[in-house]
Structure formats: C-alpha cells, structure tokens
C-alpha cells in the first residue's frame, strides 16, 4: 500500500527474536497522522535506512544503546520532507536527515534534525556514503587504522556501504586493498568498479589459502565488519603493529550461544601480544560525533569528483522493510539497503 496523507503506518517490535529475526517479530500498525504543536514539525518519511546494528536493538541484552521496547517503533535513520512546521528553523518542503524509524510520519521538536541542501541530487545518500556509514568508514580507517602508503589493507563486507568506502579511501591513501565479499559478482564489483586490488569470496572452500595468496606481505590493517571464519583466516596473516578497527561482527549477530570448538582466546591474545596488534572498537556517534565536519569537508568533494563510488539497493514500500532487513542480515544485499517509503518530490 502506498503512503497516504492522513494515515501513519508504523512497524513496531512485536517480539524479541531468538536467533535470526523472522517476520513475526514485527507488527504493522496504523493510526491517524498527528498534528505538530508549537515548536514542532511534521515529517513525512521518504527514505528509510536499514542497517545491521538494528539487530542489536531488537535484543534486550546490555549494549551501547537502549533496546527498542516491545510495541515501540523500530529505530532507523530517515530522510524526510517537512510537511508542516511550527518551528522557526524549518519550513515546509525542507529535506531533513533524522531518526524517525520505520514509519510514514513523525513529530519532531527539531532535536537532532539536520537540514539537507534543497538542491541535493541524491537525498538518500545522506543515509549512506555521505552519512553514518561513510562517516564510520572514514573515522574508523583514518583515525584507528592510520593507513600508510604501501601497506596492505583487508576489508570485510567489502561491497557494503562501510566496507566499500573503507577500501576506496585506502586506495586514496596509497594502500594495497584486498576485499572480502560473498560471491563472484560482488568481488568483481569491488575490483572493477571500486578499484580494489583483489577481492576474495569468503564462500570459497579454500578461502583462507586464497586470502593468504592475495596478501603476500601480510596484513597491516584489517577493517572488521564480520568476524567468524573471515577473522580466523585473517589472524595468522597479521603483521607486527597491525591495526584492527572493530566496526561490526555481523556473522554473530543472530547467535544464541558461543560457537562449538576449542577455546581460541589464548591464541588470539598471544598473537595480539607478540605482534603488538592494536584492536579498537568504536561507536561512530558516541566516539566521533564531534568530528563530523572533518568527514564532511573531505567526503563531499571525493564523491563529487568521482573518487568514491557508491551503490544503493533501493526497495519500494514500507511494507517490505522486515523482509529487506532479514535479507540484509543474511548477506543478500548488494550495496546500501534503503527503503523508499514515499514519493521523493
């Protein structure tokens, strides 16, 4: 069903998933569109971002942010149009970046809203390469990874919105860049479009051997988005003083218990010690929010000049958000996953 002017559809968390999320964990509700009061704006969602971190918010386990409550609208970044404004800083028709979540409309007091340029050619890019994923890639690689010309950078989830940007920045900084992705099509894209030096399919039976062959000088920086078997193959290839920006561990987001097998913590800790390896986790908004202008000053020109390429996977219809999100966690996406909730005029 298409977006309406007087009804607000919203996806709420119906139950907490056990393992991978399923359709029954979400419930679609509908109500009348609210009216903004003094100092408020009514926002109409045009684009909704779907991101792996949302899986963590569906759980009530302790984390860096509070979980989504049962019956509460699913969280998510949005690009919206201002429909009505009773706020001095916003006018009807403004494009704004916000956090309205999985719904058609939202009332905001203006807190956290960022106005986008009226002439912006790709508003949805504020949810990707020019937004949180791009910012994550930029600060994680440059501040924690500290790339130097001639070093080898390995990037997991290489064609996702974060990984693809990491690899391209690495090339701009003079690194040899090796991506890790799922499937030959994604690997071709990483090399032929994004400019990576090589890309290895993690589904290959001889993945570890292929990765080692692609990194004859070892690995100086490993940008971690995945964990699991990919990290297992990376660990023995890490050089002395290697750096690991720890951005995500999507392979384990649906896990309900620790994996079977021997305890590998002693091997990991010994490797970190002997090779003096730096591993640093980070949460982009909490750790680097005050430095977003550094990112904006460089990334905008890089994109305009064609130095950074970007790919979106846009799905039409708010009703398809759960299905698209479940597919994202299963690695079925190719590029940044965005739901086009309504018309973008």
Q: Do 181 and 273 lie in a common domain?
A: yes
- Let me know if residue 345 belongs to a domain: no
> What's the pLDDT band for 1 if we cut at 50, 70, 90?
low
Assign residue 159 the CATH number of its domain. Answer: 3.40.50.720
Which is more confidently placed, 64 or 278? 278
Confidence check: pLDDT of 255 > 80: no
Q: Where does the chain have alpha helices with state H?
A: 53-57, 132-139, 161-172, 184-192, 207-214, 228-234, 265-274, 284-288, 292-304, 321-329
Q: What range does the domain containing 238 cover?
A: 132-285
- Let me know if residue 298 belongs to a domain: no
> What's the pLDDT band for 160 if we cut at 50, 70, 90?
very high
pLDDT average, residue stretch 110-129: 92
Count Cβ neighbours within 10 Å for each residue of 214-247 and write b for 16 or more, e otherwise: bbeebbbbbbbbbbeebbebbbebbbeebbbbbb
Confidence check: pLDDT of 256 > 80: no
- Let me know if residue 1 belongs to a domain: no
Q: Do 119 and 136 lie in a common domain?
A: no
- Let me know if residue 306 belongs to a domain: no
pTM for the structure as a whole: 0.91
Task: Decide: 115 and 123 in contact? Cβ < 8 Å.
Answer: no
Q: Do 154 and 250 lie in a common domain?
A: yes
Q: At what angle do helices 132-139 and 161-172 cross, to 10 degrees?
A: 40
Q: Do 327 and 231 lie in a common domain?
A: no
Q: Do 319 and 236 lie in a common domain?
A: no
What does the chain come to in residues?
345
Q: Do 120 and 139 lie in a common domain?
A: no
pLDDT average, residue stretch 43-50: 98
Indicate the pairing of strand 41-49 with strand 105-108: antiparallel
Task: Decide: 54 and 328 in contact? Cβ < 8 Å.
Answer: no
> What's the pLDDT band for 193 if we cut at 50, 70, 90?
very high
Confidence check: pLDDT of 253 > 90: no
How much is the pLDDT for 132? 94
CA torsion 269-271-273-279 (nearest 10°) is -70
d(CA 339, CA 316): 6
How much is the pLDDT for 111? 93
Q: Do 203 and 120 lie in a common domain?
A: no
pLDDT average, residue stretch 207-227: 97
Measured between alpha carbons, how far is residue 336 from residues 75, 155, 237 in Å?
A: 17, 16, 29
- Let me know if residue 38 belongs to a domain: yes
> What's the pLDDT band for 249 if we cut at 50, 70, 90?
confident
pLDDT digits (tens, 9 = 90+) for 302-342: 999 999 999 999 999 999 999 999 999 998 999 999 999 99
Measured between alpha carbons, how far is residue 271 from residues 104, 242, 274 in Å?
A: 49, 11, 5
- Let me know if residue 224 belongs to a domain: yes
Q: Do 96 and 190 lie in a common domain?
A: no
Assign residue 22 the CATH number of its domain. Answer: 3.90.180.10
Which range (63-67, 143-147, 271-275) has the least confidence?
A: 63-67
- Let me know if residue 232 belongs to a domain: yes
How much is the pLDDT for 5? 92
Structural domains in the chain (count): 2
Q: Do 242 and 324 lie in a common domain?
A: no
- φ/ψ of 34, rounded to 5, equals -75, 160
Which range (6-15, 210-219, 243-252, 272-281) has the least confidence?
A: 243-252
Task: Decide: 96 and 131 in contact? Cβ < 8 Å.
Answer: no
pLDDT average, residue stretch 282-310: 95
Q: Do 321 and 218 lie in a common domain?
A: no
Q: Do 251 and 184 lie in a common domain?
A: yes
How much is the pLDDT for 250? 84
pLDDT average, residue stretch 159-175: 97
Q: For residue 8, list its beta bridge partners.
A: 31
d(CA 139, CA 143): 5
């Amino acid at each position: 069903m298409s977006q309406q002017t007087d009804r607000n559809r919203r996806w709420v968390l119906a139950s907490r998933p056990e393992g991978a999320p399923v359709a029954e964990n979400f419930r679609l509700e509908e109500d009348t569109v609210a009216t903004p009061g003094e100092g408020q704006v009514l926002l109409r969602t045009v684009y909704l971002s779907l991101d792996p971190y949302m899986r963590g918010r569906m759980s009530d386990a302790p984390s860096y942010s509070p979980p989504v409550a049962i019956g509460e609208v699913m969280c998510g970044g949005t690009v919206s149009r201002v429909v009505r404004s009773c706020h001095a800083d916003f006018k009807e028709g403004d494009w704004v970046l916000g956090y309205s979540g999985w719904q058609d409309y939202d009332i905001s007091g203006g807190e956290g809203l960022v106005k986008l340029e009226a002439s912006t050619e790709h508003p949805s890019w504020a949810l990707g390469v020019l937004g949180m994923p791009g910012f994550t890639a930029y600060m994680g690689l440059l501040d924690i990874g500290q790339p130097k010309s001639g070093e080898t950078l390995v990037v997991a989830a290489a064609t996702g919105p974060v990984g693809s940007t990491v690899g391209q920045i690495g090339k701009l900084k003079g690194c040899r860049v090796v991506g890790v992705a799922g499937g030959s099509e994604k690997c071709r894209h990483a090399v032929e479009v994004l400019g990576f030096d090589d890309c290895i399919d993690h589904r290959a039976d001889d993945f570890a051997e292929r990765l080692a062959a692609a990194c004859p000088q070892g690995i100086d920086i490993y940008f971690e988005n995945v964990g699991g078997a990919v990290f297992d193959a990376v660990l023995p290839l890490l050089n002395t003083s290697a750096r690991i920006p720890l951005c995500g561990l999507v392979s384990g987001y649906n896990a309900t218990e620790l994996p079977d097998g021997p305890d590998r913590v002693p091997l990991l800790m010994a490797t970190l010690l002997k090779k003096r390896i730096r591993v640093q986790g980070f949460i982009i908004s909490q750790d680097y929010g005050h430095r977003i202008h550094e990112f904006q000053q460089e990334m905008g020109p890089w994109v305009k000049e064609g130095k950074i390429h970007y790919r979106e996977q846009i799905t039409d219809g708010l009703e398809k958000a759960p299905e698209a999100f479940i597919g994202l966690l299963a690695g079925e996406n190719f590029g940044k996953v965005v739901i086009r909730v309504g018309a973008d005029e």
